[in-house]
C-alpha cells in the first residue's frame, strides 16, 4: 500500500500551480493585514495601495514560471507604495518569497541580481518614506532576505546534486546493460565457435567414413565394418565433447563434472584420427613444449582441427597435409598445409565465408596472434598462426 503523504507530494509536484496559488492567497491575506495595521498618513490613497498590494501578492501563483520579472515588478510596487505615502512593508512577504524562488530556480548571476535589486528598492522606499536611518527596521529585513536567498541557493544546489546522482545512476545502468549485451554476444560467439569446431570436425570425419563404408560394403565387408566402427567411435567422441561444452555452460555443474579442454598435447591423437579417416597427414613438433595459457592451448588445437577438417573435405582423396607446431621463445607457431587440388569455389568459400575459418580468425585475434590463411604458391592451402606468449 502506498504512503498517502507520498502520493500527495507526487500529486503536488506534478501540479505546482496548486500550492503556488495557495501561497499567493496566504501572502495576500498577510499583506492586507499588515497594510491595515500600519496607520496611514493623512492624504494617503488607500484604494490604489490595496489594489496594488493584492495584485502583487496574487501574482505569486506564477512565481515558478517568471520569478525574476515578478521580483522586479513587486519591488517597484513597494517603491510606488512609498511614493503614495504608505509603508512598503506589507509587500515584503511577497518579495521574500520571490527572492527565495529566484535563488532556488535560477542561476547564480540572476539570483544575485534579484537579491541586489530587492535591497536597492527597499532602501529607495526607505529614502522616499524618510526611514533610511532606521537600522532597527533595515537589519531584520536584510538578515531575513539574505537567509532566504541562501536557503534557496542551498535547495538549488541540492536539487542539482540529486539530479547529477540520478543521471550518473542512469549512465551506470546504461553502461551495465551495454556491458551485459556485449558479454552475452561474446558468449554466444564463443559457444558458436566451440559447437562448430566440435560438430563440423566429427561430422566431416563421419561422412567420409560412411562414404568409404558404402563403397566397399559389397566387396570388402571387413573394411566396411572397420569404417562403421570408426564412425561409432567418432560419434561417441563428438557426444563426449558436446557434453563437455554443455557442462561448462551449466552454472550448476561442479568442476569435477567438467573434463579438461583439448590442447596442443592432443594434436598427435588428432592427426592419427585424420589418418584413419583417409587424410595422409604428418606432424612435426619443434622446440621444447612448455606450459601454455589455457585459451591459447585450446585455440591452437581448434585451429589444427578446423584446418585438417577442411583439408579432408576439400583437398581431394589423394591430398597430403602437414602440421607443424613450433614452441619458440615468446610465441607458439602453428602451421597446417596441404597440397590439395580443390576447386577454386571451395577454396574461396573456405577462406572468405566459412564459419570455421571465421572462428579461427576470432580465436587468433582474441589472444593477439597473427594469422595467414590462403593458397600456397606451389598449390594447396595454408593456415599459419603465431600466438604471443608474453605471460609464459
Taking only the tens place, the pLDDT of each residue in 288-304 is 888 888 888 888 998 99
Q: What is the mean pLDDT of residues 41-59?
A: 73
Q: What's the confidence (pLDDT) of residue 254? A: 47
- The larger pLDDT score, comparing residue 147 to residue 214, is at 147
Q: What is the mean pLDDT of residues 7-18?
A: 57
Q: What is the mean pLDDT of residues 25-32?
A: 84
Q: d(Cα 213, Cα 350) in Å, to the nearest integer?
A: 27
Q: d(Cα 299, Cα 213) in Å, to the nearest integer?
A: 32
With a cut of 80, say whether residue 283 has pLDDT above it: yes
**392 neighbors 291 (Cβ within 8 angstroms):** yes
Mean residue pLDDT of the chain comes to 79
Q: What is the mean pLDDT of residues 170-191?
A: 79
The lowest-confidence range among 21-25, 61-65, 226-230 is 226-230
**304 neighbors 360 (Cβ within 8 angstroms):** no
Q: At what angle do helices 355-366 and 344-352 cross, to 10 degrees?
A: 40
Location of each CATH 3.30.565.10 domain in the chain: 262-392
Q: Percent of the chain beyond pLDDT 90?
A: 20
Q: What's the confidence (pLDDT) of residue 260? A: 65
Q: Write down the CATH number for the domain with range 262-392.
A: 3.30.565.10
Taking only the tens place, the pLDDT of each residue in 253-282 is 444 445 567 889 999 998 988 888 888 899
Provide the 8-state DSSP code for 341. Answer: -
Q: What's the confidence (pLDDT) of residue 39? A: 60
User: What is the enclosing helix (H) or strand (E) of 373?
Assistant: strand 370-375
Amino acid at each position: 500500500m502506498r504512503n498517502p503523504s507520498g502520493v500527495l507530494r507526487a500529486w503536488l509536484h506534478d501540479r505546482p500551480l496548486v500550492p503556488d496559488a495557495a501561497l499567493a492567497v496566504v501572502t495576500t491575506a498577510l499583506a492586507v493585514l499588515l497594510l491595515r495595521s500600519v496607520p496611514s498618513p493623512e492624504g494617503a490613497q488607500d484604494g490604489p495601495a490595496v489594489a496594488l498590494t493584492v495584485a502583487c501578492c496574487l501574482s505569486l501563483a506564477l512565481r515558478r514560471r517568471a520569478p525574476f520579472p515578478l521580483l522586479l515588478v513587486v519591488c517597484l510596487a513597494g517603491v510606488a507604495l512609498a511614493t503614495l505615502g504608505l509603508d512598503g512593508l506589507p509587500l515584503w512577504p511577497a518579495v521574500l518569497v520571490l527572492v527565495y524562488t529566484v535563488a532556488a530556480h535560477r542561476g547564480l548571476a540572476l539570483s544575485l541580481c534579484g537579491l541586489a535589486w530587492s535591497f536597492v528598492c527597499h532602501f529607495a522606499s526607505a529614502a522616499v518614506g524618510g526611514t533610511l536611518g532606521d537600522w532597527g527596521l533595515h537589519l531584520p529585513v536584510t538578515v531575513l532576505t539574505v537567509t532566504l536567498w541562501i536557503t534557496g541557493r542551498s535547495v538549488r544546489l541540492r536539487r542539482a546534486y540529486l539530479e547529477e546522482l540520478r543521471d550518473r545512476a542512469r549512465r551506470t545502468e546504461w553502461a551495465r546493460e551495454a556491458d551485459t549485451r556485449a558479454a552475452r554476444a561474446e558468449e554466444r560467439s564463443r559457444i558458436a565457435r566451440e559447437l562448430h569446431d566440435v560438430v563440423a570436425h566429427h561430422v566431416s570425419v563421419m561422412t567420409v567414413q560412411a562414404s568409404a563404408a558404402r563403397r566397399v560394403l559389397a566387396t570388402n565387408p571387413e573394411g566396411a565394418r572397420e569404417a562403421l566402427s570408426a564412425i561409432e567411435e567418432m560419434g561417441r567422441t563428438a557426444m563426449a565433447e558436446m557434453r563437455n561444452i554443455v557442462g561448462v555452460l551449466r552454472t550448476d555443474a561442479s568442476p569435477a563434472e567438467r573434463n579438461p579442454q583439448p590442447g596442443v598435447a592432443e594434436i598427435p591423437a588428432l592427426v592419427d584420427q585424420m589418418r584413419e579417416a583417409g587424410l595422409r597427414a604428418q606432424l612435426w613438433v619443434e622446440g621444447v613444449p612448455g606450459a601454455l595459457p589455457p585459451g591459447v592451448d585450446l585455440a591452437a588445437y581448434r585451429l589444427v582441427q578446423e584446418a585438417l577438417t577442411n583439408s579432408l573435405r576439400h583437398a581431394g582423396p589423394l591430398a597430403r597435409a602437414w602440421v607443424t607446431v613450433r614452441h619458440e621463445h615468446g610465441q607458439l607457431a602453428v602451421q597446417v598445409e596441404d597440397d590439395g587440388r580443390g576447386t577454386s569455389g571451395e577454396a574461396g568459400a573456405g577462406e572468405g565465408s566459412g564459419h570455421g575459418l571465421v572462428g579461427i580468425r576470432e580465436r587468433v585475434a582474441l589472444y593477439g596472434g597473427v594469422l595467414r590463411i590462403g593458397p600456397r604458391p606451389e598449390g594447396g592451402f595454408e593456415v599459419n598462426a603465431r600466438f604471443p606468449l608474453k605471460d609464459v
